[in-house]
Amino acid sequence: MTKHENSFFFSSPPTDVDAVHDFLHETWALHPDIDEMDRMAFETALVELASNVIQHADTGDGVTCALSVSADSTELRAQFSDTAEAGGFRMRTATMPDDLAESGRGLAFMQMLVDEVRYERVEDRNVWSLIKKRAASEASAD
């Protein structure tokens, strides 16, 4: 399988997380060979990320985002960048909060669903990278 990349740019408001779902639906149509469980885990992590950015990063002026997704025979990759302020975020291994907590699950949830979650501030953008090894590549490595 050759590597294929699909990109999507949006501003929120007016765009919301439904547009990210639609973009991923189009992306999966280009890759019918990707295992359904891989798609679900990767999509759930990516939608969680997009939801958090849309919900928490907009300080009133909106936020502009760029999303690219690529797939090859071994992994799924996403890069998600936004124009929100840095906010002093530091990447760490997250743990799930108490059952009654009303927030704080996003990063831990993403880390459970994919193999790698990275964050860095690049110039005036927050850049997130998600990597999910494909089930077929894990099986062939055994």
Count the domains in the chain: 1
pLDDT tens for 53-62 read 888 877 778 8
What's phi and psi for 73, nearest 5 deg? Answer: -70, -15
The helices-and-strands tally (H runs, E runs) of the chain is 4, 5
Give the pLDDT confidence score for residue 129 in this predicted structure.
97
- The CA angle 120-125-128, to the nearest 5 degrees, is 40
Q: What is the pTM of this model?
A: 0.83
| Closest CA relative to residue 54, chosen from 44, 40, 65 | 65
Q: Which residues pair with 65 in a beta bridge?
A: 10, 82
Which domain CATH number covers 106? 3.30.565.10
pLDDT in tens, 25-40: 999 999 999 999 999 9
Q: What is the per-residue pLDDT across 61-79, written as a single tens digit (0 to 9) for each?
A: 889 999 999 999 999 999 9
Phi, psi of 99 (to 5 degrees): -55, -35
Can you tell me the distance from the alpha carbon of 107 to that of 111, in angstroms, rounded to the nearest whole number? Answer: 6
Domain span holding position 112: 4-141
pLDDT reading at 108 higher than 50: yes
Q: Confidence class of residue 101 from pLDDT cuts 50, 70 and 90?
A: very low
